[in-house]
Structure 1
Amino acid sequence: MIPFSVLDLAPINEGSDAAASFRNSLDLARHAERLGYQRFWMAEHHGMPGIASAATAVLLCHIAGGTSTIRVGAGGIMLPNHSPLLIAEQFGTLESLFPGRVDLGLGRAPGSDHATARALRRNLASGADEFPQDVAELIDYFSDSPRSAVRAVPGNGLKVPIWILGSSLFGAQLAAAYGLPYAFASHFAPQQMMDAIRLYRANFRPSAHLQQPYVMLGYNVFAADTDEQGQLIASSMQQAFVNLRSGRPSRLQPPVPGYLDSLGPAERHMLDSVLSCSAIGSPDTVARQMQAFIAATGADELMLTSQVFDHGARLTSYEIAMRVRSAGKA
């Protein structure tokens, strides 16, 4: 059985607010810890009305402080938005507070639109192009003997595992060259997943960080007692994607019966593409879909995300997924 982990975007439901989202995230993390999930990651997004995890390191401190054993981490920090020194200090602080439990996943995208990215006051023209150098600088700040005269305090000498995140071949190449674990965003951008996995594994160079390639894949799970219930709870996430790609991002909406049938061909095709790495339905249906995905990809770990409007139904979805894994069906 491969490890299962949780990706949470701290969704803000229609009619709710960020404070409620944070309470739900902590409750989900405690639930995941009890169920035996490996890690609990949160992602940096800005200017998104339905996502509350913008101040990712601050929120991770809230999650880590309310749990005791599960690993916590960023999946990921969008490094072009920040100086590497600042991130080294933030995650050095987290590692000092919660030793041996912190992961740092790094992404190359801004995690926002262009106007919001400009408001973050980073150089948009060069940020993505400088990503490999920024990753190397960040790794250096955590080393025992950094080359830089600048010291990250805390951070220097701390063993914070660094992951490269990606949804294209670029991240796969970088993770392979640096000998780092690789997490692919197949839960919303699966188009280059198989090519990226092959490229990463074929070109991986062992390093002081990692001796063998390690691939974690994002995967959507909407598990319920029946296939019909699974399809219903999945409709909130489907609405979120359609709204986002239509230029009208929104809070997470209540589920809509028969939502897919209400869409036009273009919207349906878009959803079929971006959410193709998903398991939706009853425990048996979810088990078959997850087992097929793991067999096809050879994933070393799955990072499950379940953007469900009702918090109780979201907890149940993660519980069913872990039950499927524990029964040896995935």
Structure 2
Amino acid sequence: MKEEKKLKDTLYSALDLAIIRDGHDARDAFDRSLDLARQLEKLGYERFWLAEHHNMANVGSSATAVLIGHIAGGTQSIRVGSGGIMLPNHAPLMVAEQFGTLASLYPNRIDLGLGRAPGTDQTTARALRRDRMETVEEFPNDLEELQGYFSDENIDGAVRAIPGEGLDVPIYILGSSMSSAVLAAKKGLPYAFASHFAPAQFLSAIRYYKDNFQPSEYLKKPYIVACVNIIAAEEEEEAQKLATSFYQMALGIVRRKSYPLKRPVGSMDGMWSEAEAAAIQQMLACSFIGTPSKIKDELNQFQQVAQVDEIMICSHIYDHADRIKSYELAQSCFS
């Protein structure tokens, strides 16, 4: 009989996008990201990941590897990585060199989460890739090429990643669908699911991954990271108000527009239609908003069903102090 995973025994970590606030610039976002990482390090968070997105007015983490270096250089022990690098946008050799450099500078602290989507619209994807014809279908081949560059066996290869070769840079497969679960299980790699914005296939994907996992030199048993949204405050009313910044950002996604993160408002009434509100609530099904006691109860229920190894927290809150407080309150739920 498999041992049931309890919330108190679950690792907790953070996903950041260096969100740009309305009325502020990218430097403000980077300063806040670094300060947040330092605070989370003190609170015992396992890792701090940054996501690659492009052509979005509210996301500052487009040059993901550069920002990972900034965060790792300003912290001492917390693991820092990508959630993720969108591999079809990059030559595997360059990813190996970049993360080999990071792993050389910050030994045993760098993670490489890989996604197969472009992290942007198709027009921007074409601008990123120029004449390269890479598609998501090439992702498994790109992954194998990347793993080859990190391996000791590539010492006699015609093309070598220096630095990178022979370094231990843990690779995670990111995804929001069954296809990513299939690949992660087949390759015997840890699997991180984007349940914070695409929860529809979450349970079916992680069940497939667990049932079909093939042990590898990298991992002997399945390892699942579930990303969720958490907005916590001492009072329920305060948490619900803080969440309106998050809802406004989600509304931009539904409308296919990108705006800097806006200040919270008293109510979303009149700002979204009934259909938009319903779509956003469905998209944010794995979101936990409220007081610590309420969130802890809901996270316990989530973990009873999902049985994941790690919960990665994403928290889009306008005010920096409120955001740090939210992560602090979220951490208390795991004790």
Give me the TM-score of the superposition, normalised by structure 2: 0.95
2:25 aligns with 17
Please state how far the C-alpha of 1:248 moved relative to its aligned partner.
Answer: 1.8
Please state how far the C-alpha of 1:47 moved relative to its aligned partner.
Answer: 0.6
Partners of 2:254 and 2:276 within 8 A in 1: no
Question: Which sits farther off after the overlay, 231-240 or 174-183?
Answer: 231-240
For residues 234 and 179 of structure 1, what CA distance do their matches in structure 2 show?
37
Query: Alignment partner for residue 294 of structure 1, among 292, 303, 326?
Result: 303
2:4 aligns with none
Query: Alignment partner for residue 28 of structure 1, among 36, 45, 58?
Result: 36
Please state how far the C-alpha of 1:257 moved relative to its aligned partner.
Answer: 1.3
Please state how far the C-alpha of 1:262 moved relative to its aligned partner.
Answer: 4.7
Partners of 1:13 and 1:251 within 8 A in 2: yes
Gaps of at least 5 residues in structure 1 are none
Query: Alignment partner for residue 182 of structure 1, among 191, 201, 204?
Result: 191
For residues 69 and 46 of structure 1, what CA distance do their matches in structure 2 show?
29
Match of 2:114, SS state, is strand
Please state how far the C-alpha of 1:264 moved relative to its aligned partner.
Answer: 2.0
Question: Is 1:72–2:100 an aligned residue pair?
Answer: no
Partners of 1:260 and 1:268 within 8 A in 2: no
**Structure 1 207/260 Cα, relative in aligned 2: closer, same or farther at 3 Å?**
farther
Please state how far the C-alpha of 1:210 moved relative to its aligned partner.
Answer: 0.1
1:223 aligns with 232
For residues 226 and 282 of structure 1, what CA distance do their matches in structure 2 show?
6
1:217-256 maps to which residues of 2 (within 5 A)?
A: 217-256=226-265
**Structure 1 122/133 Cα, relative in aligned 2: closer, same or farther at 3 Å?**
farther
Match of 1:103, SS state, is strand
Please state how far the C-alpha of 1:92 moved relative to its aligned partner.
Answer: 0.2
1:40-86 Cα deviation digits (max 9, x unpaired): 00000011000000000000000000000000000000000000000
Please state how far the C-alpha of 1:293 moved relative to its aligned partner.
Answer: 1.0
Partners of 1:232 and 1:258 within 8 A in 2: yes
Please state how far the C-alpha of 1:315 moved relative to its aligned partner.
Answer: 0.1
**Structure 1 211/304 Cα, relative in aligned 2: closer, same or farther at 3 Å?**
same
Paired residue type of 1:296: V
Question: Is 1:173–2:213 an aligned residue pair?
Answer: no
**Structure 1 261/221 Cα, relative in aligned 2: closer, same or farther at 3 Å?**
farther
Question: Which sits farther off after the overlay, 67-76 or 285-294?
Answer: 285-294
For residues 292 and 270 of structure 2, what CA distance do their matches in structure 1 show?
23
Partners of 1:81 and 1:122 within 8 A in 2: no
Question: Is 1:271–2:280 an aligned residue pair?
Answer: yes
Partners of 1:222 and 1:234 within 8 A in 2: yes
Give me the TM-score of the superposition, normalised by structure 1: 0.97
Partners of 1:187 and 1:218 within 8 A in 2: yes
Partners of 2:90 and 2:129 within 8 A in 1: no
Match of 2:14, SS state, is strand
Please state how far the C-alpha of 1:124 moved relative to its aligned partner.
Answer: 7.1
Question: Which sits farther off after the overlay, 310-319 or 116-125?
Answer: 116-125
Aligned structure 1 segments of 4 or more residues deviating by more than 6 angstroms: none
2:3 aligns with none
Gaps of at least 5 residues in structure 2 are 1-8
2:314 aligns with 305
1:179-207 Cα deviation digits (max 9, x unpaired): 00000000000000001001101110000
Question: Which sits farther off after the overlay, 278-287 or 177-186?
Answer: 278-287
Paired residue type of 1:60: I
How many residue pairs get aligned? The number is 326
Paired residue type of 2:28: A
2:129 aligns with 121
Query: Alignment partner for residue 55 of structure 2, among 40, 47, 67?
Result: 47
Identity of aligned residues (%): 52
Partners of 1:140 and 1:148 within 8 A in 2: no
Query: Alignment partner for residue 100 of structure 2, among 58, 70, 92?
Result: 92
Partners of 1:220 and 1:277 within 8 A in 2: yes
Match of 1:145, SS state, is helix
For residues 37 and 201 of structure 1, what CA distance do their matches in structure 2 show?
25
For residues 241 and 283 of structure 1, what CA distance do their matches in structure 2 show?
23
Please state how far the C-alpha of 1:289 moved relative to its aligned partner.
Answer: 1.3
Partners of 1:44 and 1:55 within 8 A in 2: yes
Please state how far the C-alpha of 1:259 moved relative to its aligned partner.
Answer: 1.3
Question: Which sits farther off after the overlay, 223-232 or 117-126?
Answer: 117-126
Question: Which sits farther off after the overlay, 139-148 or 99-108?
Answer: 139-148
1:19-55 Cα deviation digits (max 9, x unpaired): 0000000000000000000000000001100000000
